[in-house]
Amino acid sequence: MEKTSSNLLWHGVLLAVLLSFGYSIVLASQSIEYNWRWERVVPYLVNMEPKSAVAPFDGVAKVSADGLSVVVTSDNGEPDRAYQEFSHLIVGDGDLVFEGDVIVTREDWRMGPIMNGLVVTLKISIVSLFFAVIIGLFVGLARISSNPLLKHLSLLYVEIVRGTPLLVQIFIFYFFIGTVLGLDRFTAGAAALSIFAAAYVAEIIRSGIQSIPAGQMEAARSLGMNYSKAMIHIILPQAFKRTLPPMAGQFINLIKDSSLVSVISITDLTKAGREVVSGTFAPFEVWFTVALLYLVLTGTLSWMVKLLEKRLATSD
């Protein structure tokens, strides 16, 4: 009983802290006389401008009796053009129309630049994540291999990648490797991100494998499984489960790090944000929106990982 009432109190305090935090943002923006114009951001998210259909030639418009279709008859003997399923009729029955005149308009929406940027960020994150896991798995296995070549090569890779800034790696990939191999910017950016994240994934996988008791491998080998079968069926599934939490953290980092590819002119969410700021003069709104969209991506990812963790917990 006492516990619940004090919990309630702390939740109240939490709410008060959040409210005062929000209020201080309002105060801060007032102190610099900033006018919030959230509506300016909306067209850059979703473009709701109606799509219009124009006459391809000069002629006469004929609207059907029920008003649901228009036929434009050409003055120069070109085949008739019919328009249906529109939301606004611009011409009247019997109107003369000239080439380029708007006949009808249709409700439509297109993704604005920020949404396009979000899609690019999502795409580059998924591609990099996929390759990071594959490369990381092999590097992680090489790290624990007894073969000196594999062991030292993988260690060198991990040390080099972890010891240099991602931004520098992206430049190297774009300006050096990209030029040598003729990579486009997206490929170069995705490759840099994959190689960078793979080094961390490799370390996570290595520690995951090493955390599985040696008896598991012994039991598998004693049943006649070779090393790779034992890895695939026994060790990796258990290691995978144990490494999910750090792996989720790494994947979230990858999504956030992908914002750095904007420096090689990939129009990802961050670059789109920068471009929209210069078009709208609404930097606060745009950057808050961009931050929120990153949060949606990372939040969805960690939610999916939680679901997976729950499903894998059945054997505990």
Partner 1 sequence: MIKEYQGNDMIVATQIDKFYGNGCHALKAVSAIVHRAEVVVVIGPSGSGKSTFLRTLNQLETISSGSISIDGTDMYDKDTDINKLREEVGMVFQGFNLFPHMSVLENVMLAPLKVSKRNRQEVESHARQLLCKVGLETRIDNYPSQLSGGQMQRVAIARALAMKPNIMLFDEPTSALDPEMVGEVLDVMKGLAEDGMTMVVVTHEMGFAREVADRVLFMEEGQLLVDDTPTTFFDNPPHSRLAEFLSQVL
Q: Which residues contact partner 1 (rule: CB under 8 A)?
A: 213, 215-216, 218-226, 229, 233-234, 237-238, 241, 312, 314-316
* Closest distance to partner 1 from the beta carbon of 249 (Å): 22
Task: Report the residue number, 175 or 227, with the smaller CB distance to partner 1.
Answer: 227
Find out whether 80 and 73 touch, Cβ atoms under 8 Å: yes
Half-sphere exposure of 17 (CA within 13 A, CB side): 6
Return the amino acid letter for 145.
S
* Closest distance to partner 1 from the beta carbon of 268 (Å): 38
Task: Report the residue number, 40 or 241, with the smaller CB distance to partner 1.
Answer: 241
Q: How far apart are CA 53 and CA 131, in angstroms?
A: 44
- Where does the chain have alpha helices with state H? 2-31, 42-45, 113-143, 148-163, 166-171, 178-181, 185-210, 214-222, 227-230, 236-257, 269-280, 283-312
Conformational region of residue 213, where left means phi above 0, alpha means psi within -120 to 50, and beta covers everything else: beta
* Closest distance to partner 1 from the beta carbon of 239 (Å): 10
Conformational region of residue 99, where left means phi above 0, alpha means psi within -120 to 50, and beta covers everything else: beta
Task: Report the residue number, 162 or 229, with the smaller CB distance to partner 1.
Answer: 229
Task: Report the residue number, 126 or 219, with the smaller CB distance to partner 1.
Answer: 219
Task: Report the residue number, 92 or 148, with the smaller CB distance to partner 1.
Answer: 148
Task: Report the residue number, 277 or 312, with the smaller CB distance to partner 1.
Answer: 312
Half-sphere exposure of 286 (CA within 13 A, CB side): 23
* Closest distance to partner 1 from the beta carbon of 241 (Å): 7
Q: What separation in angstroms does the CA of 312 have from each of 27, 130, 205, 210, 254?
A: 47, 21, 17, 20, 24
* Closest distance to partner 1 from the beta carbon of 155 (Å): 21
CA atoms 218, 224, 225, 226: torsion sign: positive
Q: What separation in angstroms does the CA of 236 have from each of 135, 205, 216, 222, 243?
A: 15, 9, 11, 18, 10
DSSP code at position 173:
I
* Closest distance to partner 1 from the beta carbon of 311 (Å): 12
* Closest distance to partner 1 from the beta carbon of 204 (Å): 18
Task: Report the residue number, 110 or 229, with the smaller CB distance to partner 1.
Answer: 229
